[in-house]
């Protein structure tokens, strides 16, 4: 549940900056911008699993909400004579060529719909380069705050752009974690990601993305997660309880939105099934931890999940420095 150590994160950021520098030198004839999105800037990445997501933004143009204040005032006036899909198709080709040229010993995976993944060679971390452009939402036109600014990501397979709010997502998760949960939310998310990674290593299939894990735990009981600031295993108890509740109540799960409200979390049966499989893994973890924390419990063959939660919630794990 703990955050990745600073040295590991530093290497991840340095790797992304190395790739960014090569793109800055190699992608010519464009006004480019670069930003990190995803688990690393949100500090919910885990060791050995999380890639670094690098947005490669074509800043020669942007799209915008026509009902925003700047749009209505006529501030957005300049025509751009290619479509976003045309511009980002060309950008993606340039990115692929630059990475091939600059990193001959690395593996450049061009098969992904949204990202060009580079790994191996001299790079200690995999980096996903995501061709994209800015989208000025109505909120951004009012606030000028980057967390209100959208990003449209190019999907190579669908030949269309997909709207995202990556910086708002990071801000919402961080604000809830630090404000209402005293750090417990991000610990819960990391726990889920570790359990998922362990299950996959054991040959189990869990179709439940890191983004959707974060969105799901965003709706967990904040008071219960706050208990984890003192009794850290209470985070495991609440994580298990919430996933178990959703796994037993698909109709309710389908009503939950991602933090920025742009879509439902569980918009497919595959995601519901992936969440249920993660819930089962979390059930087993809870039972095993309860046995470790209560010698009497370990001799009893059947105890309910609520009993297991009670055992771990009241268990204090001291920190040693």
**Contacts for 10 with CB less than 8 Å, ≥ 6 apart:** none
Domain boundary assignment for the chain: 6-164, 170-313
pLDDT on residue 319: 47
pLDDT on residue 45: 96
pLDDT on residue 304: 83
pLDDT on residue 316: 61
pLDDT on residue 296: 67
The mean predicted confidence, pLDDT, of the chain is 93
| Beta-bridge partners for 68 | none
**Contacts for 284 with CB less than 8 Å, ≥ 6 apart:** none
**DSSP reduced 3-state for 257:** strand
- CB neighbour class for 216 (10 Å; exposed up to 12, middle 13-18, buried from 19): buried
pLDDT band at 62 (very low <50, low <70, confident <90, very high): very high
pLDDT on residue 298: 59
CATH of domain 6-164: 3.30.460.10
Q: Could you tell me if 137 and 125 are in contact, meaning their C-beta atoms sit under 8 angstroms apart?
A: no
**Contacts for 57 with CB less than 8 Å, ≥ 6 apart:** 32, 33, 34, 35, 132, 133, 134, 151
What is the tens place of the pLDDT at every residue in 180-219?
Answer: 999 999 999 999 999 999 999 999 999 999 999 999 999 9
User: Which of the two residues, 106 and 319, has the higher pLDDT score?
Assistant: 106
What is the tens place of the pLDDT at every residue in 28-37?
Answer: 999 999 999 9
Q: What is the rounded average pLDDT of the residues 16-20? A: 98
What is the tens place of the pLDDT at every residue in 120-133?
Answer: 999 999 999 999 99
Counts of helices then strands in the chain (DSSP H, E): 14, 7
């Amino acid at each position: 549940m703990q955050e990745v150590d600073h040295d590991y994160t530093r290497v991840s950021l340095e790797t992304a900056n190395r790739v960014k520098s090569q793109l800055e030198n190699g992608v010519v004839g464009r006004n480019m911008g670069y930003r990190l999105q995803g688990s690393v800037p949100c500090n919910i990445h885990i060791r050995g699993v999380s890639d670094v997501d690098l947005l490669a933004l074509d800043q020669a143009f942007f799209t915008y909400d026509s009902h925003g204040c700047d749009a209505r005032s006529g501030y957005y006036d300049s025509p751009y004579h290619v479509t976003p899909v045309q511009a980002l198709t060309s950008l993606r080709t340039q990115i692929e060529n630059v990475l091939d040229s600059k990193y001959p010993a690395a593996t450049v995976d061009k098969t992904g719909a949204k990202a060009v993944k580079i790994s191996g060679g001299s790079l200690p971390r995999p980096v996903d380069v995501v061709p994209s452009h800015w989208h000025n939402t109505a909120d951004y036109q009012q606030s000028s705050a980057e967390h209100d600014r959208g990003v449209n990501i190019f999907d190579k397979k669908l030949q269309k752009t997909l709207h995202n709010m990556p910086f708002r997502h990071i801000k919402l998760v961080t604000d809830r974690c630090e404000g209402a949960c005293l750090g417990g939310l991000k610990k819960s998310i990391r726990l889920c990601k570790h359990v998922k990674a362990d299950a996959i290593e054991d040959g189990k299939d869990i179709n439940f993305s890191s983004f959707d894990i974060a969105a799901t735990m965003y709706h967990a009981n904040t008071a219960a997660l706050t208990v984890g600031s003192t009794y850290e295993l209470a985070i495991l108890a609440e994580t298990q309880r919430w996933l178990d509740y959703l796994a037993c109540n698909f109709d309710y799960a389908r009503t939950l939105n991602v933090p920025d409200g742009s879509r439902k979390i569980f918009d497919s049966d595959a995601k519901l099934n992936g969440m249920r499989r993660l819930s089962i893994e979390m059930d087993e973890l809870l039972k095993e931890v309860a046995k470790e924390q209560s010698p009497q419990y370990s001799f009893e063959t059947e105890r309910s999940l609520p009993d297991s939660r009670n055992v771990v919630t009241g268990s204090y794990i001291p920190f040693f420095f």
